[in-house]
């Protein structure tokens, strides 16, 4: 029976066993999976006091899609962000390995190409990948999600933006004030 609480000395082995019990990991665990678990604890260790906490986050990371709340999705609704996110997807697809990338720098360069503020660009990527405003550094999140999930999640957001209501943003937010998307220089 796996222990309920994760301690520094045993947390990798305990989580690996819990993931195997939940059929989220094969047995025996390959070396790459153990490396993934190490990265997981580097990213989420402070949020995982118990095995159940860790397994919930693992399930969220393993999901093919996320739900982006309506108002944050509206902030993404413009051509520059759409092209920027597509460029991020192409960038991920071209990388043989997602560990050790200079993601902060690289996202800044890509954002500049589309006139998107670097902080807005990081927020847009995080929102597309997790549906959340905050989380672990993107340098840790990218290898945890992996190529396929990153590309699927960005593709889903871009598809929703293009094939949902299109790129015309809402005029007013729920507070009745004019609503603005992430701004970029026009094309």
Whether 76 contacts 181, CB under 8 Å: yes
Number of domains comprising the chain: 2
Q: Mind listing the pLDDT tens digit for each residue in 56-75?
A: 999 999 998 899 998 999 89
pLDDT at 96 over 80: yes
Give the alpha-carbon dihedral of 130, 62, 106, 47, to 10 degrees: 60
The reply to whether 109 and 53 lie within a common domain is no
Q: Is residue 55 part of a domain?
A: yes
pLDDT at 160: 87
Q: Is residue 86 part of a domain?
A: yes
pLDDT at 142: 97
The reply to whether 53 and 34 lie within a common domain is yes
Instruction: Enter the DSSP assignment of 109.
Output: H
pLDDT at 187: 47
- Percent of all residues in the chain with a pLDDT value above 90, rounded to a whole number: 71
The reply to whether 84 and 155 lie within a common domain is yes
| 94: its two tokens | 């071209």
Count CB atoms within 10 A of the CB of residue 128.
25
The 3-state secondary structure of 140-162, one letter per residue: HHHHHHHHHHHHHHHHHHHHHHH
Task: Provide the residue range defining the domain that includes 37.
Answer: 11-62
Please tell me the pTM assigned to this model: 0.86
The reply to whether 90 and 156 lie within a common domain is yes
- Interval 94-122 mean pLDDT: 95
Q: Mind listing the pLDDT tens digit for each residue in 117-158?
A: 999 999 999 999 999 999 999 999 999 999 999 999 999 999
Q: Is residue 148 part of a domain?
A: yes
- Interval 72-100 mean pLDDT: 94
The reply to whether 152 and 82 lie within a common domain is yes
**Whole-number mean pLDDT of the chain?**
89
Nearest residue to 117 via CA among 84, 146, 95, 150: 84
pLDDT at 153: 97
| Confidence band of 39 (pLDDT split at 50, 70, 90) | very high
Q: Is residue 5 part of a domain?
A: no
State the CATH number of the domain containing residue 129: 1.10.10.350
The reply to whether 77 and 129 lie within a common domain is yes
The reply to whether 109 and 153 lie within a common domain is yes
pLDDT at 84 over 90: yes
pLDDT at 5: 59
Instruction: Enter the DSSP assignment of 98.
Output: -
pLDDT at 2: 43
Distance of CA 7 to the CA centre of its chain: 26
Q: Which residue has the higher pLDDT, 160 or 187?
A: 160
Q: Is residue 48 part of a domain?
A: yes
Q: Is residue 51 part of a domain?
A: yes
pLDDT at 6: 61
Instruction: Enter the DSSP assignment of 50.
Output: B
The reply to whether 86 and 126 lie within a common domain is yes
The reply to whether 37 and 101 lie within a common domain is no
| 17: its two tokens | 């066993």
The reply to whether 36 and 88 lie within a common domain is no
pLDDT at 90 over 50: yes
The reply to whether 58 and 74 lie within a common domain is no
State residue 50 phi and psi, 5-degree precision.
-125, 160
Q: Is residue 89 part of a domain?
A: yes
- Interval 26-41 mean pLDDT: 93
Q: Which residues pair with 172 in a beta bridge?
A: 178
The reply to whether 102 and 127 lie within a common domain is yes
């Amino acid at each position: 029976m796996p222990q309920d609480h994760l301690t520094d000395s045993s947390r990798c082995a305990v989580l690996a066993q819990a993931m195997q019990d939940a059929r989220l990991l094969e047995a025996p665990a390959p070396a790459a999976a153990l490396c993934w678990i190490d990265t997981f604890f580097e990213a989420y260790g402070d949020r995982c006091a118990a095995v159940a906490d860790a397994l919930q986050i693992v399930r969220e990371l393993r999901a093919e899609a996320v739900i982006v709340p309506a108002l944050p999705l509206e902030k993404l609704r413009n051509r520059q962000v759409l092209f920027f996110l597509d460029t991020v997807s192409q960038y991920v697809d071209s990388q043989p390995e997602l560990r050790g990338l200079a993601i902060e720098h690289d996202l800044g360069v890509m954002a500049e190409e589309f006139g998107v503020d670097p902080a807005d660009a990081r927020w847009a990527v995080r929102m597309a990948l997790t549906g959340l405003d905050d989380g672990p550094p993107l340098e840790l999140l990218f290898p945890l999600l992996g190529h396929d999930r990153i590309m699927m999640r960005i593709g889903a957001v871009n598809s929703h933006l293009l094939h949902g209501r299109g790129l015309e943003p809402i005029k007013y937010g729920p507070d009745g004030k004019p609503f603005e998307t992430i701004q970029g220089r026009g094309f």
